[in-house]
Structure formats: structure tokens, C-alpha cells
Structure 1
Amino acid sequence: MDAVDKQIIRCLQKNARITNQDLAEQVNLSPSPCLRRVKALEKAGIIKAYTLEVDNEAYGLPVTVFVSVQLEKHTQEVVRHFEAQIKQDEKVLECFVMTGKADYLLKVVAKDLHDYEHFVRHSLHAIGCVASIDTSFAYGVVKKTSLLPESY
């Protein structure tokens, strides 16, 4: 991946609906080579998807919760079972495997506190291998981006 590919990615991260013509102009390429590069980035799995960012509150899910989960055991079977259940739960937007005290950090959305309680009681507890749950509610957002740094 060269500097032009990185320019293409940044432009698409800022506006995934940009036309190929406009993208080509922004990265100083003609349209055909630009489109070939985009297709190559998609084929290589560097560009994974084109998504839409939605206002959670306007959508009806204003509560964002970060949930630290510790498992009872760490056998392959328990880990596979937990991860499979989490992948299927649509309230879990993100799940990270962690170092430190917690095994996983989940980003969960809910419509209110009762909805979150229902998630804990009927989804997390139902998994059966959870030793502890530590919940933190986000009450504001300082920064939210998916735009990768320009230089690294």
C-alpha cells in the first residue's frame, strides 16, 4: 500500500459516497486507475465495507454502555461459546479481547436503563460462563471517528 492508496482510503473514510470521478480528482489520478486501486484495496481486504453512521439517540438507542466481562474459565470451549453468543447479539456493537482484569470489553447500546438491565439478565447471564460484569455508562462523547491517522 503506497501513499496514493492511503489518500484514497482517507478520502473514502471522509465520504464513502464520493463519485469515482471526484475521488480521482482529489488524489490526482485519472478515473480508471483510481477505480482499479479502489477495487484492489477491496479485494485485498483493506477496504472491508462501506457503512453509514447513524445518530444513536435519534434512532432510539441513546444509552451507550461499556461492559467489562470476566469469564469463569478460559478453556477453548468457553471462549468459543462466549464469543459466538456475543457475535449474535445485535445490542453489542463492538467486542474487544482485553489484557488486564477484564477478558472482554463490550460496547452496547440500549434505549434506557431497563433495556440494558434486560440485556444483562437475558443475554449476558444466559451465556452461562460469565464470572463478573462491570458496567460504565457513557454520558457524553468528546470524540468519535473512524478516520485513521494520516501519518504513522
Structure 2
Amino acid sequence: MAELQLDKIDLAILKLLQGQGKLSNQELAEKVGLSASPCSRRVKAMEESGYIAGYATLLSAEHFNLSLTAYVQVRLEKHSQAILDSFEDKITQYDEVQECCLLTGSDADYQLKVLIADMKEFKTFLLEKLTTDPHISGVKSSFVLKQVKSKTSIPLPTQLP
């Protein structure tokens, strides 16, 4: 399959879908100046080529009483592939963990974003789940006082090559 070359209309479609994922194909087509069929074909092509990775509904954490966000830096005792893989396998099973990133340039090996109800639940997560891993040599937690910016969209180019 040939690499899909995006044009200005494709970028407009992607920008609209990132901000308003519930737009119907007809609404999307009208906003970018196409008829429904060509718009639908473009979206399908971008899905098939991987530009559109998927669709999701963003839920309000506060409506589910998830009011505490913590960033947890984790340091492992060793850096063998088996230990890294084991840690990553465990972390993917914890629903509280929203993100897990392997780091460089830091004292920590991983940074976790944890979303949880309160400090009591965080204590349970920390002591009964996370730190039960025998390969963890240190944990440092920071708590969000105020979220200044949060977005799910990625920056798109303003000009094409």
C-alpha cells in the first residue's frame, strides 16, 4: 500500500475530528467543503493508513469521584530486560495508572500518572500494589494541586511540504 499523502483538506478533517469526534460524516463534509462520499473515503483512508489511531469518549473523572492525580517516579534496582518487562507487565494491569513512561535523563526509570479518588486509595495503591514489586528501589510521588492544561489532540502541521 502506498504512503498516504495528506493535503489541506485532510488536515482540516483531522483537526475537526480531534476537537469534535462526534461530528457526523455529513457535518464533517460540510465543514471542509466536500460532499459526503469523498469525505468518508478520505476518513477511511486515514484510518487505514494509521493517521487516525482510533476513537474514544473522554469521561469526566470528577463525576466518578476521581479527584486525586499523582505523578509517581519509580526507580528500579537493576535495568535488565527481564526486570523492565516484568515491571511494565504489572503496571499495565493497574487501572489507576493512566500513563507509564520509561525515562532518560532523570533519577527515575519510569514516571506514572495515577488517577485515584483520594489519599487513602493512593496509599492502598502504593503499598499493596506498586511497591510489592521486589525490583523497585525507590518511589517519589508528587500530587497535582491544579491542572493548568490538559488536551488529547496532537499538534498538526500548518503547512504541508
Question: TM-score range with shorter-chain normalisation?
Answer: over 0.9
Q: Does 1:102 align with 2:108?
A: yes
Q: Does 1:120 align with 2:126?
A: yes
**What is the CA–CA distance in structure 2 between the aligned matches of 1:128 and 1:28, rounded to whole Å?**
58
| 2:83 counterpart residue number | 78
Q: Among residues 57, 65, 68, which one is paired with 1:60 in the alignment?
A: 65
**Superposed counterparts of 1:1-150, under 5 Å:** 1-100=6-105, 101-150=107-156
Bigger Rg over Cα: 2
- Deviation (angstroms), 1:97: 1.5
Q: What amino acid sits opposite 1:110 in the alignment?
A: I
Give unpaired runs (5+ residues) of structure 1.
none
Q: What amino acid sits opposite 1:136 in the alignment?
A: S
How many residue pairs end up in the alignment? 152
Aligned-pair identity in percent equals 38
Name the TM-score, length of structure 2 as normaliser: 0.88
**Structure number with higher helix proportion:** 1
Give unpaired runs (5+ residues) of structure 2.
1-5
Q: What amino acid sits opposite 1:138 in the alignment?
A: V
- Deviation (angstroms), 1:60: 1.2
**What is the CA–CA distance in structure 2 between the aligned matches of 1:129 and 1:9, rounded to whole Å?**
42
For the aligned residues, what is the CA RMSD? 1.4
Q: What amino acid sits opposite 2:111 in the alignment?
A: L
